[in-house]
Structure 1
Amino acid sequence: MVDRSDDVTATERARTAADAGASLLIVVNNTPGRLYQSHDGTDGLNVASVRQGDGARLVSEAKSGSGRLHVRQQQYPDYGYDLVQQFNDVVPDRSLVYRPDDGEPARVRTGVYAAPGTLGYGGRYFIPAWGPGRGGDAHEQWSRTTTEYVTGGTTAVGSWYEQHTGLGAADGYFERGETDSYTGGRHYEAAWFKPVQAARLGDTYVPYQTSTNTLNWNVGIWSGGDAGHVGAGGRTKQTTLYRGDAQLATFKAQSGRAYNLTAGSYRLVATGQRTTAAWTGSTSTRTTWGFDYKPLPAGTARADAPMRRS
């Protein structure tokens, strides 16, 4: 058990404890409130934090030898909280402790499809209209369902972004999605890495053309069935642009570009193959989009290409 200090980083504390053979490190916060810190992983060491008052009591019992500490860990919780408290046009003059009523947050029942025991990490972020996102990722064990409580009615001030990325057998695969807002008190169902996957375009995966008659694309090859989810990963993937039967450009990647296009009809074909113990379905996919291209009007530097799935 140690007191937190600015002189020692969280990683240094954890590594020192691990090198000493500790299996549990308890960090007593040296300032009021909860302690929020992260450290580089150290195998075999669990790290917990306590507030000042609780820490003082634990230290006293440890020194006296009269106390016994029982610790229970839920490594992968089946619940989560993503809460936003709004203060409109005022500087708050009261405690920032946020205790929403039971019916205030939306409840999102989230399933992550993968072979039992598959590991990953992910989380939900709030993207305020005025600046960078707030949130964070947590380690996850997939092939299970969690219930998440999310603040509703945030359309006027921002949106929600969520991502999940695989580890181990699922290493390199990810899915991302955005939600404008949730309705407080409403129940939602969400699913990630659904068994049937295919290439998909999304808000940040839209082929676009430029004033120099260049077409740029980036296709999420492995996307689950939930609307708005875009995913990618794996090493075997290819994208090819055709005009009629003529192949104009091909890349051993999900992204690419073609130059000096002229008005006419084109096809973009995306293919992928994967073999992984995390998912035994959708071992290959092939998707074709057709579109009619025409040069941009004078003064327009860039525009999304009008893609349609064939």
Structure 2
Amino acid sequence: MSLSVEGTDGIATLADSTLTVPAHGTASTTVTGDGAQAPVGNNSGRIVASVDGEPVAHTAFGLVKEEERYTLTVHVKDRDGAPTAADLVVQRLAEGADPAPAHVGDSGTLQLRLAPGTYSLASFLDVRGSHGADSLGLGFLAAPQITLDRDVEVTLDGRELREIEAEVDRRTETRQLIMEYDRSAHGSELFGAVQVPVRYDSVFAAPTRKVTEGSFEYRTVWRLGKPLLEVRGVGEALVQPGSTLIEGRSRLPLVDVGDGPMTDVRGKAVLARLTEGTEPAALAQAAQEAGVKALFVTDDAPGRLNAWWGDDDNADRPFQIATVNAADAARLRNAGTVDMTGTRNTPYVYDLSKGYPGAVPDRDLTYAPDEDELAAVRTRFHAREPVPGGEFRYSITDTFPIGLGFRERIDYPAERTDYVSTGAGQLWHESVVLGEGDLEQRSGLVRYRGGTRPTLNWFQPVWHPWLGTGLGWGQERSGDQLQFNTPGWGDSGPDHTGFGDVWSEESGMSQYTEVYLDGELVDRRRGSGVYVRDAPADERTYRVVTDTTLDAGRWEPATRGHAEWTFRSAETPTDRWTYLPLINLGFDIDTDLAGEVRGGRKMPVGIHAEYVQGAVDTGRIRQATLEVSYDDGQSWRPVRLTGEAGSWRGVLSVPRDASYVSLRASARDDRGGSVIQTITGAIGVR
């Protein structure tokens, strides 16, 4: 038989051009591939055997030529220097390159075949913690700049990890903790973050070399507060979900039952061990049936024990449950009694943020800000009646423009001191909710100054529409398209925009919004958003109207609001959204924490007006008016105002027998623009 190679253009040759195959036998030859002749990638062909020019047999072959690549060998070690498994993120620092996950097995070594270039590696690794034998830590290990132009070995060495801590003046526990990093170079960006779970009691980062290409930053963000539960002689007692905190100071005898039955424990504190295979809810049920007043639980697993301990109906147990580590369990056992203080609402929080641009330094990573680095914010949450709510302050920087975290429960009304990190580039976005989230108020981006003591009010009357920077969209035009967003329940705080759940019948809120073009209705919708499509190119007059109500059976005060914005606009560029010159109107009245003023007294009042931030084609705001009603809007009387353009002051004479103060205010500019707001039942009178 004659042999030939097809489909390879010379990249494969045969040792023999013919073969003789004996009857019932076999014959073979050698095929040699020439990588120098082959293009990069997959190559294939076939060998054909022919007799007298007719193919009688064939077999396929393939040759894969790898592009230029080098071996990147990654070693990972734990805090004791032992090889350990890890999950990596590998990023080639080149435009269009996506990050890729990689897993290092138990050997602690991984070899990657990669194209030449600059790479970044990062990993969050479970490590031995710093609080005893059953402590669990989370470590950040990174090699942010690896030049791969030959075979390279990199070691992510847990022995180099340094603990990251926040050191402040008051006793605190960690409410939330975020570890985040960003690596950017050559048109690519790698971002990673961890909202550190409760089970980790310590966090670490290893030093890195300073990058010379692009940028790198590691940052830690803390929310600290007064511990929910403080136990004398114990480092930390973690109150568990599904239990009921004992508020205030108390002292109880302690019975150590280990993993045995709970006998003679009614009305006492109990220390128990959660054994492997035992459900937390089952242990809690046994404690409840035994009449335990406070249950302290430890286990043998690394890290904090945190679980759901409530009953089968997802209700909280009627007693307190907290977990402790092995060392604190021993301290409780030796004490025999429990002296403790429960604090449901912390009187202070620390919102801290510390970043390391360029490299994680090879030094102590304790963040201990002094008074000049923090703003001490007197924060007041207003409510006429006790009501639950939630709040959080999100860290924002140029490198980390998305704030991470979740709102925390708080009972209104409340006053609190918030110690907040300041410094170059540090901004905060704040969000608070009233009730079960039916009403949310949010700020724009806030920059605090170190060493200051500002006052911050939330839900302080007057509740009214404010078109703030926290909206995200609205009051914009692109070509012949206009869009408006007019949430109706901002407050008297700086740049506080308020959103209501107007879609649920149970919320007790309603809002309807309209937009008019030269006096004709164009769009009307439930909610805060309305639109104009195919608007005329020449300058026309537009008017946006929104009406809001709060039901008396659900809200106090049960305000009703009516607002109108008038402005003129012509066609704008179609390649972007342009902010329109709507005028914002704000109120300034000093109420108590219940949002009320005292009757039978004179009360200073202020109003201020400004354009929506970023608006174009603005004029000068020149005029303002204010009227007041003490009979729910049945009659109105003017209030004399003094001041300059944009800010005016007046005085209200609040009757002793009034129940509410209603306000109607307006402001106008020199381009035909105006705003009018009428808030009925705006402020309660005591």
- Out of 478, 481, 505, the residue aligned to residue 210 of structure 1 is 478
Match for 2:349: what amino acid? Answer: G
- Out of 143, 160, 168, the residue aligned to residue 413 of structure 2 is 143
CA-atom RMSD in angstroms: 3.2
- Out of 389, 412, 427, the residue aligned to residue 120 of structure 1 is 389
Structure whose residues are more often helix by fraction: 1
1:262-307 CA distance string (max 9 Å, x none): 1311011111010256753361111111222222235x23222222
Aligned partner of 1:160 in structure 2 is 428
1:59-104 CA distance string (max 9 Å, x none): x44xxxx612233210011111101123242313334333322443
Distance 1:90 1:36 in 2: 34
Aligned partner of 1:109 in structure 2 is 378
1:140-162 CA distance string (max 9 Å, x none): 11122111111121x42x41011
Aligned partner of 1:244 in structure 2 is 518
Match for 2:560: what amino acid? Answer: S
Answer whether contact 2:371 2:450 (CA < 8 A) is retained: no
Answer whether contact 2:427 2:448 (CA < 8 A) is retained: no
Answer whether contact 1:241 1:269 (CA < 8 A) is retained: yes
1:134 aligns with 2:134: no
Residue 256 of structure 1 deviates from its aligned partner by: 2.5
Distance 1:271 1:217 in 2: 14
- SS of equivalent to 1:145: strand
Answer whether contact 1:114 1:278 (CA < 8 A) is retained: no
Aligned partner of 2:73 in structure 1 is none
Say how many residue pairs are matched.
Answer: 293
Aligned partner of 1:258 in structure 2 is 532
Aligned partner of 1:94 in structure 2 is 363
Aligned partner of 1:224 in structure 2 is 491
Q: Aligned in 2, Cα 1:42/1:174: closer, same or farther, shift over 3 Å?
A: same
Distance 1:291 1:17 in 2: 66
Which range is displaced more, 100-109 or 221-230?
100-109
Which range is displaced more, 282-291 or 186-195?
282-291
Q: Aligned in 2, Cα 1:83/1:28: closer, same or farther, shift over 3 Å?
A: farther
Residue 246 of structure 1 deviates from its aligned partner by: 1.2
- Out of 422, 442, 454, the residue aligned to residue 188 of structure 1 is 454
Match for 1:223: what amino acid? Answer: G
Aligned partner of 1:273 in structure 2 is 549
Distance 2:321 2:405 in 1: 21
Q: Aligned in 2, Cα 1:278/1:284: closer, same or farther, shift over 3 Å?
A: same
Residue 202 of structure 1 deviates from its aligned partner by: 1.3
- SS of equivalent to 1:182: coil
Answer whether contact 1:244 1:266 (CA < 8 A) is retained: yes
Answer whether contact 2:467 2:497 (CA < 8 A) is retained: yes
Distance 1:204 1:136 in 2: 17
Answer whether contact 1:106 1:152 (CA < 8 A) is retained: yes
Residue 210 of structure 1 deviates from its aligned partner by: 2.6
Aligned partner of 2:441 in structure 1 is 175
Answer whether contact 2:390 2:410 (CA < 8 A) is retained: yes
1:303 aligns with 2:578: yes
Distance 1:287 1:280 in 2: 20
Structure whose residues are more often strand by fraction: 2
- SS of equivalent to 2:415: strand
- TM-score by length of structure 2 reads 0.39
Answer whether contact 1:159 1:178 (CA < 8 A) is retained: no
Distance 2:547 2:577 in 1: 26
Aligned partner of 2:328 in structure 1 is 54
Residue 227 of structure 1 deviates from its aligned partner by: 1.6
Distance 1:199 1:129 in 2: 29
Distance 1:228 1:38 in 2: 39
- TM-score by length of structure 1 reads 0.81
Residue 52 of structure 1 deviates from its aligned partner by: 5.0
Q: Aligned in 2, Cα 1:91/1:36: closer, same or farther, shift over 3 Å?
A: farther
- SS of equivalent to 1:250: strand
Sequence identity of aligned pairs in percent? 24
Which range is displaced more, 174-183 or 274-283?
274-283
Answer whether contact 1:241 1:248 (CA < 8 A) is retained: yes
Answer whether contact 2:298 2:329 (CA < 8 A) is retained: yes
Match for 2:447: what amino acid? Answer: S
Residue 18 of structure 1 deviates from its aligned partner by: 4.5
Match for 1:189: what amino acid? Answer: T
- Out of 565, 569, 577, the residue aligned to residue 293 of structure 1 is 569
Answer whether contact 1:266 1:292 (CA < 8 A) is retained: yes
Answer whether contact 1:107 1:187 (CA < 8 A) is retained: yes
Q: Aligned in 2, Cα 1:209/1:219: closer, same or farther, shift over 3 Å?
A: same
Residue 138 of structure 1 deviates from its aligned partner by: 1.5
Q: Which has the larger radius of gyration?
A: 2
- Structure 1 regions of 5+ residues with no counterpart? none
Distance 2:498 2:415 in 1: 20
